[in-house]
């Protein structure tokens, strides 16, 4: 090859590179225009444009993902699921389409499918934090449904009611949202695609379908059990369990610090070879949903003679557990 032919070859390569660069820019501009149409609420026009683009570029994952988003915003849930599913089939190593499938499944109450989609996303990319968080929310939703079912079968099940209340307190009632994500450059996949992280909405806890019976009797039993466990831990000299019966806001008898009071209790409970604590004439008063009062006669025997005391415990409900807030003794 002479100098002239080498020069022509070099010019041809430069021309082809420039043409390729221009073509890529044209494609990028087209997708940007389609995205802007969607953002402006012109979903019909955006869908028409992205379909035309995919007809010429059927394997472009960025465009496929964008189509899925437009379909979601257009209310075409089934078509969006088909598009995202097709994307996972062609590009199984991309975690984001699985995440968006999970959002759509969760929105329709298909939590098992959502769970499987998120597990696949995590399997492909274990560091995908959004998928881990969404999976936690899915588990919470599934738990709320199970507790609700338990209450329908047994509306006096105070444990299920407490756990359901915990989920409500943690997540609130939530509002359904339509899955929406924007395409961004991905560093995790083989092609440039990454939606903005889309989280599954917080667990929406359905109210029990049956009218709940008065649970005051159940709460009385729960309070009685809490006091009984406190006395049992004291008798068995299980100091850690004994101290765990007191709330963080417990008012110490002499106003000393919590640390000083706990140290004193550890010494006094651990010192005798054995301890016996018996309670009699217990009377439980449920003040409200979070407060209760218990009065009883206490008989304590350690190293010396039995000590009989009239005692009042004020308890507070904390995360479903009744804990001692104040302890009042009188001989």
Query: Are 161 and 242 within one domain?
Result: no
Query: Are 303 and 228 within one domain?
Result: yes
Query: Are 62 and 166 within one domain?
Result: yes
Query: Are 226 and 186 within one domain?
Result: no
Q: Which CA distances in Å does 46 have to 54, 60, 84, 106, 128?
A: 12, 16, 17, 26, 29
Q: Residue 330, exposed/middle/buried by CB under 10 A (0-12, 13-18, 19+)?
A: exposed
Query: Are 15 and 133 within one domain?
Result: yes
Q: Give the helix ranges, DSSP H, for the chain.
A: 3-39, 43-56, 61-73, 77-90, 96-107, 111-124, 129-153, 158-171, 216-235, 239-243, 258-270
Query: Are 140 and 7 within one domain?
Result: yes
Query: Are 138 and 177 within one domain?
Result: yes
- Establish if 83 belongs to a structural domain: yes
Query: Are 167 and 109 within one domain?
Result: yes
Query: Are 247 and 157 within one domain?
Result: no
171 near 163, Cβ under 8 Å?
no
Q: Is the pLDDT of residue 28 over 80?
A: no
- Establish if 208 belongs to a structural domain: no
pLDDT in tens, 120-173: 988 888 887 888 888 888 887 787 777 777 777 777 777 767 766 665 655 554
pLDDT in tens, 40-49: 888 888 889 8
pTM of the model: 0.46
Domain that holds residue 238: 216-330
């Amino acid at each position: 090859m002479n100098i002239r032919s080498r020069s022509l070859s070099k010019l041809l390569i430069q021309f082809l590179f420039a043409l390729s660069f221009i073509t890529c820019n044209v494609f990028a501009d087209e997708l940007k225009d389609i995205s802007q149409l969607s953002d402006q609420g012109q979903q019909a026009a955006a869908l028409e444009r992205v379909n035309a683009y995919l007809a010429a570029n059927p394997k472009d994952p960025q465009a496929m993902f964008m189509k899925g988003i437009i379909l979601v915003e257009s209310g075409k849930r089934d078509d969006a699921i088909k598009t995202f599913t097709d994307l996972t089939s062609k590009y199984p190593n991309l975690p984001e389409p699985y995440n968006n499938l999970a959002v759509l499944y969760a929105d329709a109450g298909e939590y098992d499918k959502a769970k499987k989609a998120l597990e696949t996303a995590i399997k492909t990319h274990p560091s995908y934090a959004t998928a881990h968080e969404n999976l936690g929310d899915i588990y919470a939703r599934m738990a709320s449904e199970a507790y609700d079912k338990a209450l329908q079968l047994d509306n006096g099940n105070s444990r299920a009611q407490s756990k359901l209340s915990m989920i409500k307190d943690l997540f609130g009632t939530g509002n359904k949202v339509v899955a929406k994500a924007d395409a961004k450059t991905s560093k995790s996949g083989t092609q440039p695609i990454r939606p903005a992280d889309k989280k599954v909405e917080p667990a929406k806890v359905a109210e029990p379908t049956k009218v709940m019976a008065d649970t005051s009797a159940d709460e009385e039993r729960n309070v009685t059990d809490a006091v009984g466990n406190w006395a049992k831990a004291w008798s068995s000299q299980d100091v850690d369990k004994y101290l765990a019966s007191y709330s963080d806001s417990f008012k110490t008898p002499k106003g000393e610090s919590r640390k000083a009071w706990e140290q004193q209790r550890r010494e006094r409970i651990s010192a005798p070879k054995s301890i016996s604590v018996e309670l009699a004439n217990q009377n439980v008063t449920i003040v409200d949903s979070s407060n209760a009062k218990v009065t009883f006669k206490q008989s304590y025997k350690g190293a010396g003679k039995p000590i009989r005391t009239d005692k009042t415990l004020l308890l507070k409900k904390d995360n479903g557990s009744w804990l001692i807030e104040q302890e009042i003794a009188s001989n």
